[in-house]
Amino acid sequence: MTNDRIFNFSAGPSMLPLSVLETAASEMTNYKGSGMSVMEMSHRSKVYQSIFDETKANFKRIFHVPDTHEILFMQGGATFQFAAVPLNLMGENGTADYAITGNFSKIASKEASKYGKVNIACDSSDRNHTYIPAQEDLKLTPDASYFHYCANNTIYGTEWKYVPDTGSVPLVCDMSSNFLSKPVDVSKYGIIYGGVQKNMAPAGMAVVIIDKSLAGHELPITPKIMNYQTAIDKDSMDNTPPCYTIYMLGLVLKWLDSQGGVEGMEKIKSKKAGILYDMLDNSKMFKAIADKEARSDMNVTFRTGDEELDAKFIKAATEAGFANLKGHRLAGGMRASIYNAMPMEGVEKLADFMREFEKNN
């Protein structure tokens, strides 16, 4: 079962830890003597409730979520939150600041502009999102309802290395592609959210961590299914939650514990990214696309400068068992997504393969 797996560098959905998949497989038809699959359980049953509670408690412990904040599991992925955030937070002030550092933050800002005024606090599109603007370059609205940014730009391979200082304006962060890859001071944030299919679980939901004091001020048109206060009051079970995805998140969190939690993961992911960036910095053929100071540890974007050679490399890499290295069409070149579940070995072997390819071409 194990030896036919390849190194999958997909940007998402992406690799899950092998041990997690094996546990899920072993529990597939009969979860711990319940006589049924987790997929077949009522979300109101005792056995499912214990899976849910344990998963939420482990998330809170591992990610150090303070008691001021609530953890929500909501269907619809990160894109659902692009609408839920403004609907719940735009409030009476009606203005929100958005930092545009890539495609997803741009989509989020467009969605928000349906529900209020959006002020573009910064926009890195002048250099095709290869950098992250500095704090002093953020144009902030002093009384904005919130400030929204995307911590890791999945398509362009850049990552914020600082937490923006917005004074008393609540920080809202899309962490879809670097959630649980390092410790975060959650108390600094009004909301952290992310689709789970990059670093946490199979697709089908977002994890939302919300400062409880921000809920309950939603616009009157807010659909009930998007209302954070309802989700808090009903503990994410106003309707059927994505039961199996939550179970899988629970298994991933147990695996994360075995890796030293987010503190352990930070060391591992820095080492993995370092292997690839060192390779790129020492290569005459391959070049990293993002500015050095803004490089993402999750999505490593690079190119040769010659589109034909890029295509040749992608083809050869695919044949050698390194899948999904083609860059997003907006960024071009190649992208190696090396989320938490990518083994060290996958990164080392890819770097070796790139050196070999360079020698032969």
Ligand X SMILES: *Cc1c(COP(=O)(O)O)cnc(C)c1O
Residues that bind ligand X (CB under 6 A): 12, 77-79, 104, 150, 154, 174, 176-177, 195, 198
Q: Which is nearer to ligand X, 70 or 159 (CB)?
A: 159
Report the nearest approach of ligand X to the CB of residue 49 (Å).
26
Q: Which is nearer to ligand X, 190 or 195 (CB)?
A: 195
Report the nearest approach of ligand X to the CB of residue 361 (Å).
32
Report the nearest approach of ligand X to the CB of residue 132 (Å).
14
Report the nearest approach of ligand X to the CB of residue 356 (Å).
31
Q: Which is nearer to ligand X, 70 or 174 (CB)?
A: 174
- 3-class secondary structure per residue, the chain: CCCCCCEECCCCCCCCCHHHHHHHHHCCCCHHHCCCCHHHCCCCCHHHHHHHHHHHHHHHHHCCCCCCEEEEEECCHHHHHHHHHHHHHCCCCCEEEEEECCHHHHHHHHHHCCCCEEEEEEEHHHHCCCCCCCHHHCCCCCCCCCEEEECEECCCCEECCCCCCCCCCCEEEECCCCCCCCCCCHHHCCEEEEECCCCCCCCCCEEEEEEHHHCCCCCCCCCHHHCHHHHHHCCCCCCCCCHHHHHHHHHHHHHHHHCCHHHHHHHHHHHHHHHHHHHHHCCCCCEECCCHHHECCCEEEEECCCHHHHHHHHHHHHHCCEECCECCCCCCCEEEECCCCCCHHHHHHHHHHHHHHHHHC
Q: Which is nearer to ligand X, 145 or 177 (CB)?
A: 177
Among 306, 79, 34, which Cα is nearest to 193's?
79
Report the nearest approach of ligand X to the CB of residue 87 (Å).
16
Report the nearest approach of ligand X to the CB of residue 330 (Å).
13
Report the nearest approach of ligand X to the CB of residue 107 (Å).
8
The position carrying tokens 């410790």 is 183
Q: Which is nearer to ligand X, 90 or 298 (CB)?
A: 298
Q: What residue number has its CB nearest to ligand X?
A: 77
Q: Which is nearer to ligand X, 178 or 304 (CB)?
A: 178
Q: Which is nearer to ligand X, 176 or 340 (CB)?
A: 176
Report the nearest approach of ligand X to the CB of residue 185 (Å).
20
Give the HSE-up count for residue 352: Cα atoms under 13 Å, Cβ half-sphere. 9
Q: Which is nearer to ligand X, 152 or 166 (CB)?
A: 152
**How many angstroms separate the CA atoms of 303 and 151, rounded?**
23
